[in-house]
């Protein structure tokens, strides 16, 4: 299509939208390494805010990574077989269960976490452990894992591959691990990246489920936004971005690869 004045008008508009999204990211990254943001960049760059965040909040970062990895592991173990059954079963219960499974995406984390507290809040050992946050994260991310694997399973005729393996003498479990799992790899990896990203950034559920001893990164962020100086909050945000951006880039790359293969 030819590039007339409409092209440049729309380009300008799009650039404005993009800068609305990107400028604050860059600003907070810069603020995180600036000596005194109130004075400006001319005050010089420093890593001392980052160091300060590390001293104050490094435990939240470790806990977040622990929870994210555990959530991902559970999602793979629970979600992949679940997606397989949902793709292969013709039972009408599948669609009922599908609805139930995806409901946590639709219902605000607020409601889910209040519900979890109302049922399990009384078990104080459980309430005060990081497992309490873990179950919230699993409930919230599991549907994404299942959907991701399900999408791959529905894109090729896995039934006939299974029949092929069976005709060669493979038992159910052999078929599952030799044929189904390797051919869903793309969906599993995409689901894992999604789970990691979501779990690292999860706030809505976590804020209600956390205790002073089980603070995750986003909880710490909210804490610092309310009580810390600007540069510290920015440095903390910068650390968060550094954790999450590689995952996003990886997901984008996988996605591009998929498009090319098609």
Site for other proteins, residues 100 to 129, rule: CB under 8 A: 100-112, 114-116, 118-120
Per-residue mark of binding to other proteins, 174-213 (x: CB under 8 A): x---xx--xx-x-----------xx--xxxx--xx-----
- For 12-51, give one letter per residue: b (16+ CB within 10 A) or e: eeeeeeeeeeeeeeeebbebbbbbebeeeeeeeeeeebbe
Which residues are CB-contacts of 7 (< 8 A; sequence separation ≥ 6)? 1
CB of 15 to other proteins, least distance (A): 8
CB of 242 to other proteins, least distance (A): 13
Taking the C-alpha atoms of residue 74 and residue 52, their distance in angstroms, rounded to an integer, is 33
CB of 222 to other proteins, least distance (A): 5
Residues 78-97 that bind other proteins (CB under 8 A): 78-79, 81-82, 84-86, 88-90, 97
Which is nearer to other proteins, 40 or 44 (by Cβ)?
40
- 45: which strand partners? 34
Nearest Cα neighbor of 143 from 94, 103, 172, 183 is: 103
Burial class (CB in 10 A: 0-12, 13-18, 19+), 202: buried
Residues 210-239 that bind other proteins (CB under 8 A): 218, 221-222, 225-226, 230, 233, 237
Residue 77 binds other proteins, judged by CB under 8 A = yes
CB of 51 to other proteins, least distance (A): 20
Contact 261/64 with Cβ under 8 angstroms? no
CA distances (Å), 137 to each of 154, 198, 225, in order?
A: 26, 8, 23
Residues 38-57 that bind other proteins (CB under 8 A): 38
Residue 31 binds other proteins, judged by CB under 8 A = yes
CA distances (Å), 167 to each of 36, 61, 145, 158, in order?
A: 71, 50, 30, 14
Residue 13 binds other proteins, judged by CB under 8 A = yes
Contact 47/234 with Cβ under 8 angstroms? no
Residues 120-179 that bind other proteins (CB under 8 A): 120, 135-136, 138-140, 142, 144, 146-147, 156-157, 160-161, 163-172, 174, 178-179
Which is nearer to other proteins, 69 or 161 (by Cβ)?
161
* Number of residues binding to other proteins, judged by CB under 8 A: 104
């Amino acid at each position: 299509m030819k590039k007339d004045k409409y092209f440049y008008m729309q380009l300008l508009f799009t650039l404005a939208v993009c800068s609305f999204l990107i400028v604050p990211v860059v600003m907070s990254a810069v603020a995180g390494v600036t000596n005194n943001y109130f004075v400006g960049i001319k005050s010089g760059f420093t890593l001392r805010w980052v160091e300060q965040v590390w001293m104050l909040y490094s435990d939240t970062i470790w806990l977040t990574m622990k929870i994210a990895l555990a959530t991902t592991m559970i999602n793979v173990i629970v979600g992949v077989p679940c997606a397989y059954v949902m793709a292969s079963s013709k039972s009408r219960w599948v669609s009922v269960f599908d609805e139930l499974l995806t409901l946590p995406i639709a219902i605000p984390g607020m409601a889910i976490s209040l519900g979890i507290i109302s049922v399990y809040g009384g078990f104080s050992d459980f309430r005060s452990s990081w497992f309490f946050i873990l179950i919230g994260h699993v409930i919230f991310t599991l549907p994404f894992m299942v959907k991701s694997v399900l999408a791959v399973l529905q894109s090729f005729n896995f039934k006939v591959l299974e029949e092929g393996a069976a005709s060669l003498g493979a038992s159910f479990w052999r078929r599952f691990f030799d044929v189904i799992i390797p051919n869903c790899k793309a969906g599993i990896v995409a689901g894992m990246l999604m789970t990691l990203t979501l779990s690292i950034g999860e706030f809505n559920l976590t804020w209600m489920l956390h205790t002073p001893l089980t603070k995750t990164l986003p909880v710490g962020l909210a804490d610092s936004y309310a009580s810390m100086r600007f540069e510290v909050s920015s440095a903390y945000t910068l650390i968060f971005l550094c954790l999450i951006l590689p995952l996003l880039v990886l997901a984008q790359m996988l996605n591009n690869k998929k498009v090319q293969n098609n």
